[in-house]
Structure 1
C-alpha cells in the first residue's frame, strides 16, 4: 500500500507531463503503465490509443533516460519498439479483464455486465454521440413495431431511405414509384422465390437481444467482445454510424442495379441459347447480391455500441474486485510496480 500511495502522488506529475509533452511516446508509455498498475484500466487504454495515433513523435531518441530505453538501429526502429510496447499493454488490459470475467461471470456482479437497459445505453451515448443515441431509439422502436431487426431501403434519394420489412414490398414500391421499362423484363427472368423475404440471420449478430419485459439489451456472449478486442487491440470496438452505413449500402446497391440494367439491355433474343441462360443466371446472382447489400440490420450498429459500453463497465468493476479482501491478485507481467516506483520516487521529489 505504501507503494500505491507513492504512485498515486506521482500520477499527477506524470499526467501533467503527458499533457505537456503530448508527442512523446516515452512519456505516454510510462503514463499508461502507471495508470495500469493503479488499476485505472480505462484511462490506461485511452492513453495507449492516444499514443498510437501520434504520427510524428518527438521520441524515443538516442539520449533517452534511461539510456537506450528503446532499442533500435534508427529512429523508426525505436518508435516501432515503443509502439509495440503500447500494443502489448493494450493486450494485457484485455487479458486482465478476461481473467476478472472468468472469476465473476457466475456471480451476481457478472449479470450487470451481460445486460444494459435501453435507457442507460441511450443516456450514455446521448452525452457523447447524439446520432448513436438516435439510432438506439430508432432501432428499439422499429424492433418493437416490426418484431424484426432488419429492413430493406429504397435507393432513390427522393424516398430518403424509406424502410420496407421484406423484399416483396420493396419491389412493389420500386415498380409503382420508380418505374422503369426494364423492371418487367427483370421480373420475368428471376425465380419467383427470389422476390420473397430472403433475410437470413447473421450468426455474428446473435450476441444481442432485446428483453421486452425489462426493456433491456442482453449481451450474453461476452467472449465475442474479448475476441473482437484481441483481433484489433489498437482500434477497439467501433460501430459504423447509421448514416454512413445507409450511404454505403445505397452506393453499393446502385452499382449492382446499374450492372443488372446493363445485362438486361444486352440480353440475347434467342431464349434457348446458352448465352441467354448464362446471362439470366448472372442477373439472378446480381439480384440476390442486391438484396444482401441493401438490407439493413440494426444489430450491426447496436451490437458494437452496446459492446463498447459493456467493455467500459467491465473495466470499471475490476478495481473493486482486485481491492476486495480475499480476491486473488492478477499479476502485471510487463508493468512491474517496483520498477515504476523507482522512477516515481524521483518524480515526486522533483515536484516537491
Structure 2
C-alpha cells in the first residue's frame, strides 16, 4: 500500500511539473490540471498568470476538441478564455465562502488569523515570476521590526527613503532640500498646532489589525470576512485594480511636489504683512493643504475599502 501511495504521489508530482512547463505558453491548461488535482493555490496562481499574459497564443491552436472555443477572431477567443478563467476564480471564492460559513465559530476565529511570514512564503512560492507582493511584505516586516510601527512618511524629493515620524520628515526637508531657506520661512509662518496636531497613530486598516503571536511573529487578524470575500470576488472579475506599492509612492510624491510648488508661489506673491495668514489659510485648505499626512504611507497589506 505504501508503494502504491508513493507511486500515486510521484505521478501526481509529474503531472504538476508538466503543468508548470505548459504554463509559460498555455497557462489555461495548467489552471485546469492544478484545480482538478486539488492544488488551489497553484490553480489560482496559474489563473492570475494566464489572465495577465500580454501576448498569449491563439487558443484555437490547442483547443480540445477542435473548435470548442468560440470566437471568429483570435482576440475573441482569447477574451473568452480570460472570461472563463475569471469565472473559475469567482467560483473558487464562492466555494471558500460556503466552506467558511459551514465552520464552527471557533474554527472561523482561527481562520481570521494570517501570519505575515506565511503570507510572504505564499507569494514567494506561487508567484515566483512576480515578486512585488513578496518584496512589499518583506520590506514592511523589516520596517516594523526596526521602528515598531507600520506607518512611515516619505519625502517627495527623496527616492526610496522611509522616514519614521513627522519631526524627522520636516528635518529631512529642511536639511536635505534647503531651497533658499524656503522651509525655514514656511515653518516660521505655520501654526505649530497644524503640525503637532497631525494624527500619528498606527492605524493599520479598517478591516484588519496586527498583533504578535506567542513566538513574536506578526499576524493579521481580519475583523469581517464578508468584506474579504466581496473584495476577492470583485478582484476576480477585474472590478478592483490593485496598484503596486511603487506606484502608490510615486503618486504621493507627485502630489507632495505639486503642493509645495503652490505654497512657494503663494509665499512669493503674498504681501509680507499678509504672509502668515495667507499661507496658513492655504496650508490648512483640505484641497491643497500642507499636512504631513499626504506623505504618509501605511505598511497595511490589505484594505478592501481603500
Q: CA deviation at 1:21?
A: 7.5
1:219 to 210, 218, 221: 221
- In structure 1, stretches of 5+ residues that fail to align are 1-5, 308-352
Cα displacement (A) at 1:210: 1.5
The 5 Å alignment of 1:187-266 reads 187=187, 189-199=189-199, 204-211=205-212, 215=216, 216-221=218-223, 222-233=225-236, 240-241=244-245, 249-266=252-269
Q: CA deviation at 1:199?
A: 2.3
**Change in CA separation of 1:170 and 1:130 when aligned onto 2, cut-off 3 Å:** closer
> TM-score with structure 2 length normalisation?
0.70
Q: Does 1:294 align with 2:295?
A: yes
**Does structure 1 conserve the Cα–Cα contact (< 8 Å) formed by 2:147 and 2:164?**
no
Deviates more, 1:222-231 or 1:120-129: 120-129
The number of residues matched between the two structures is: 284
Given that 1:257 and 1:290 are in contact with CA atoms closer than 8 Å, whether structure 2 keeps it comes out as no
Q: 1:125–1:132: 8 Å Cα contact kept in structure 2?
A: no
SS of the equivalent of 2:219 reads strand
- How big is each residue's C-alpha offset from its partner over 1:102-136, in whole Å with a ceiling of 9 and x where there is no partner? 2226244x444322456656776788746642431
1:95 Cα deviation from its structure 2 partner: 1.3
Q: Compare 248-257 and 167-176 and name the one that shifted more.
A: 167-176
Larger deviation: 44-53 or 197-206?
Answer: 197-206
How far the C-alpha of 1:191 sits from its partner, in A, is: 3.9
Higher RCO (CA < 8 A, seq sep 6+) = 1
Distance 1:40 1:77 in 2: 29
- Structure number with greater Rg is 1
SS state at 2:43 partner: helix
Q: Which runs of 5+ in 2 are unaligned?
A: 1-7, 129-133
CA contact (8 A) 1:122 1:133 kept: yes
For the residues of structure 2 that align with 1:209 and 1:278, how far apart are their CA atoms? 42
Match in the other structure for 1:115: 113
Cα–Cα, structure 1 residues 34 and 183, in superposed 2: closer, same or farther, change >3 Å? Answer: closer
1:152 match: 153
